[in-house]
Structure 1
């Protein structure tokens, strides 16, 4: 009797995955294999656990009914946000941030494809509440601010995708709100839109801004000086008008507005830069060389803490002056300024630019003269940084060895890279610097820097075999014994040191 044949019923074929793809990694191909019922179950489970995800799913379902249904969801949430007054403590902050993100996501993913204009209206309404929201939540890490920046960027991107006439109308419609609150979120949006607007829209916006400026001046009591806040708001309006002048390539309007803002204290660098760009180098030189009111910029303690470079403004001014002189064909004057700038500040780009403009065979002589000047510079740490970065490592090593006692361990931003650069071919100079760095860390008990100190000690031990023991005092073994004797109780440091 013949054996019955087994019949196999083929099920649905599994999707073909890309080569190398993991079958457990979510992707369109792997998720399709789950089938609709399983996916629906997963979505329903997540909506029960995650309120933010539930809102996204609800908005996606509303989008099937049209923009009005999505708008109703967004408007309810915006109304609730506008009416809220309570402070958001740390326990509620995470959920609050997630909810703000969800609002923006729904506007962009569901409302925008259906009705870009309505999406812009909701984004603007959301941004109008930025000050109230930020006053109700501790945003020390900038997370909430980043959400409003995301909304601002989206507004600019959506408006930029509209037909030019419509984009101009949207931008013009922002002017009144900006004038009412020059420090609010609308100013950055307008500023970002200006470069892409057409000429007719720019004219309309500039006219409205001029009217707002006039109203600001008229609104003050002429018998009293303008309040600092009102004057600062007016400057914001004029800055936006300057952006329009730049877009139109009109330096004269830019200068007139600068004079209106800061009579006698105009930003001569920005004015000169625009005149040079307009092919008017003679006028640019006149502006860049004008005497400046010394009260234009006074560095505050906050500036210094933030790392404000006191030499930066003059460096920028002089670099532009040199560029203008080159444009005028006054090469000799430009070269003199480059060299004097280098001599005064050890400005490496100035020296490089000076050398590239010299005739053949003169550049090498000028380079040696420049390196001699750098090696003898009265500020040794700046001199060392220049020589290492140029690079002129032989000279840097000679400078270190000639003056071993002057190097300060707290100047680690200079000494650390210098020691690393010198270690390969100049072990004595590198040893001097590593020792100064390590001594500074241990003598100051700077525990946060102990890992760096342990590395410096390891570098010193690696260099020890390449040194003549008589070249440095104390010798390597004696130096380590001295560290043990003077800092042996700093267990946090020695625990990092490999014997």
Structure 2
């Protein structure tokens, strides 16, 4: 009996097939996807946006003017700069966004349309734009610094363009800029001038230094004029930067003392003396009392707003040690490393100290260092040191020995310490987690309830007594429904 042929399934129509995963990417604007659109469709999109967006309209108009040459683009920019210079009206917060977008469009036109055609003309317009910063920012409600950011963008671009100019043009530009700095020493052009010095060719520095000397002699001698005093300080700093580039240490020192007087930056002076091989002078200088107590800001400090108050002292110690090593006074350098560690539990200082010890002496020294940490009067710093070294066993002992010390509000120390101690010393980790949870709930910090719920979950995994602790939380904080909804009442 002959078999019946098996019917083949008909392929599904294209409309019924699952869409290709790459289909979504075809709707993302890019060179490839936009080139698939008909030109008249693209033109329609551009025209529609010019009607809705005045700043975009200016950019499109400048792009069309660029087809006629740099003069046509420069004319557009000059009209806008003239309007800015003549305006007097106040820009409140409601109009600030559109006004800032217009400013940004002006800078974009200079950079994207004029610069490719004539870099010198673009640089001239940027300088003119920056020179009007005080007048514009003085009439804008810019509490968030958004409008000021446009001027920062323009300043960075001006530095880049000026640094790429031929040597003769860059030198002439610096000299021309100098005349504007004296009138507004704290404005964008003052910063632009200082930032330009490292980019100038070496051969341009002597002439610029002479110009700076003449500009300083032209300033009024009266110290009561704050603007003249600020201009003098700015010009002296510029000469100091030139001296630094030329390796003239004595000129650098003289200018530092001329600017700061008794508050001269001895650290900066000592660094340059050391680099010049004048180590005895460097040691004498770094050991002078420092009247200026400026804090050195790290990137983290700038982001978090927390200032590292110990940074200046540490920088002085590190440089003093470098000088002592250069002088061959190794024992004094080692004593200073140990002193710094004992005072602050500076881990890097301890590592350097141990690395300089003779063989077989580091174990004993490390034991003394850990003893110092366990007895350190600032427990949070001691815990941070032991966690990060790491010595988790001692860190756990420290937590338990000072059990009444820990406060949950110091979560930036306790939370990472608890996580690190979960495996090595679970009883210590449990104590820290309870402190963290208690603090959040007692203060009613609703924004941190999610953290408290996570801490409780981690506590359940390491603490056999967590059920009893949960009962205490129910009794004392049972009405904090936002927290209990996150832990599910487990």
Scaled by the length of structure 1, what TM-score is found?
0.88
1:212 positional shift: 2.5
Larger deviation, residues 200-209 vs 255-264: 200-209
- Decide whether aligned partners of structure 1 residues 90 and 261 sit closer, same or farther in structure 2, where only a CA change above 3 A counts: closer
Compared with structure 1, are the counterparts of its residues 309 and 33 closer, same or farther at alpha carbon in structure 2 (3 Å cutoff)? closer
Give 1:370 deviation, angstroms: 0.8
Q: Distance in 2 between matches of 1:26 and 1:54?
A: 20
Contact 1:167 1:197 in 2 (8 A): yes
Partner SS, residue 142 of structure 2: coil
C-alpha change, 1:428 and 1:364, in structure 2 (3 Å) is same
The CA distance in 1 between the partners of 2:293 and 2:351, in whole Å, is 30
Is the 1:172–1:201 contact (alpha carbons within 8 Å) kept by the matching residues of 2? no
Whether the 8 Å CA contact 2:186–2:230 is kept in 1: the answer is no
What do the CA deviations read for 1:307-350 (whole angstroms, capped 9, x no partner)? 33332211111111001111111111101100000001111110
Superposition map of 1:60-75 within 5 A: 60-75=63-78
CA distance, structure 2, for counterparts of residue 25 and residue 198 of structure 1: 45
Cα deviations across residues 395-418 of structure 1 (Å, max 9, x unaligned)?
000111122111111211111111
Are 1:485 and 2:485 an aligned pair? no
Query: Larger deviation: 433-442 or 340-349?
Result: 433-442
Corresponding residue number in structure 2 for 1:430:
429
Answer whether contact 2:183 2:231 (CA < 8 A) is retained.
no
Q: How is 1:312-461 mapped onto 2 (pairs within 5 angstroms)?
A: 312-461=311-460
Structure 1 runs of 4+ aligned residues shifted over 6 Å read: none
- Please, which of 32, 37, 45 is the counterpart of residue 34 of structure 1? 37
The alignment's TM-score, normalised by the length of structure 2, stands at 0.89
Cα separation, 2, equivalents of 1:174 and 1:463:
67
Q: Following the alignment from structure 1 to structure 2, what is the Cα–Cα distance between the partners of residues 89 and 378?
A: 53
Shift of 1:20: 9.5
Instruction: Say if 1:56 and 1:298 are closer, same or farther in 2 by CA, change over 3 A.
Output: closer
When residues 308 and 34 of structure 1 are mapped into structure 2, their CA distance, relative to the original with a 3 A threshold, is closer
Separation in 1 of the partners of 2:423 and 2:88?
64
- Residues 1:151 and 1:383: Cα distance change in structure 2 (over 3 Å): same
How far does residue 286 in structure 1 lie from its aligned partner after superposition?
0.9
CA distance in 1, matches of 2:331, 2:156: 47
Match of 2:266 among 265, 268, 271: 268
Residue number among 108, 114, 119 corresponding to 1:111 in the alignment = 114
Query: For 1:182-239, what per-residue CA distance to the aligned partner results, in whole angstroms no more than 9, with x for missing partners?
Result: 1011122112211121233212222222223233352x1xxxx535554344222212
Choose the corresponding residue for 2:201, options 198, 203, 208: 198
Structure 2 CA distance for partners of 1:482 and 1:23, relative to 1, 3 Å: closer
Whole-angstrom distance in 2 between the partners of 1:101 and 1:485: 59
Give unpaired runs (5+ residues) of structure 1.
Answer: 1-18, 466-474
Which residue of structure 2 lines up, in the alignment, with residue 494 of structure 1?
Answer: 484
Instruction: Describe the shift of the 1:481–1:229 C-alpha distance in structure 2 as closer, same or farther (beyond 3 A).
Output: farther
| CA-to-aligned-CA distance 1:35-59 (integer Å, 9 cap, x gap) | 3233222222222222222211111
Cα distance change on mapping 1:309 and 1:27 into 2, 3 Å = closer
Residue aligning to 1:249: 247
The aligned residue for residue 12 of structure 1 is none
Assess, with a 3 A threshold, how the Cα gap between structure 1 residues 57 and 400 changes in structure 2: closer, same or farther: same
Q: Is the 8 Å Cα contact of residues 251 and 274 (structure 1) preserved in structure 2?
A: yes
Q: Is the 8 A contact 1:169 1:201 kept in 2?
A: no
Q: Is the 2:427–2:463 Cα contact (8 Å) retained in structure 1? A: no
Q: 1:29 to 1:489 in 2, by over 3 A?
A: closer
Q: Secondary structure at the match of 2:307?
A: coil
CA shift for structure 1 position 122? 0.7
The corresponding residue for 2:298 is: none
Alignment partner of 1:140: what SS? coil
Secondary structure of the corresponding residue to residue 403 of structure 2: coil
Decide whether aligned partners of structure 1 residues 229 and 458 sit closer, same or farther in structure 2, where only a CA change above 3 A counts. farther
Indicate if the aligned counterparts of 1:179 and 1:209 stay in contact, CA closer than 8 A: no
Q: Quote how far apart the aligned CAs of 1:375 are.
A: 1.2
Q: Answer yes or no: is the 8 Å Cα contact 2:209–2:242 preserved in 1.
A: yes
Distance 1:411 1:229 in 2: 45
Cα distance between partner residues in 1 of 2:260 and 2:92: 43
Please state how far the C-alpha of 1:124 moved relative to its aligned partner. Answer: 0.8
On the 8 A contact 2:293/2:312 being kept in 1, the answer is no
Cα deviation for residue 179 of structure 1 reads 1.4
| Matches of 2:37 and 2:351, distance apart in 1 | 64
Change over 3 Å in CA distance of 1:122–1:414 after alignment to 2: same
Match of 2:293 in 1: 297
Give the match for residue 47 of structure 2: 44
* Farther off after superposition, 206-215 or 55-64: 206-215
Distance 1:434 1:288, change over 3 A: same
How far off its partner does 1:482 sit?
1.4
> 2:117 aligned with 1:121, yes or no?
no
Q: How many residues align?
A: 461
The unaligned stretches of length 5 or more in structure 2 are 1-21, 296-301
Aligned pairs for 1:130-279 within 5 A: 130-218=133-221, 220=222, 226-228=224-226, 230-279=228-277
- Provide the rounded CA distance (Å) in 2 between the counterparts of 1:188 and 1:86: 27
Deviates more, 1:176-185 or 1:260-269: 260-269
CA distance 1:487–1:228, shift in 2 (3 Å): farther
Distance 1:79-1:487 versus aligned 2 partners, 3 A rule: same
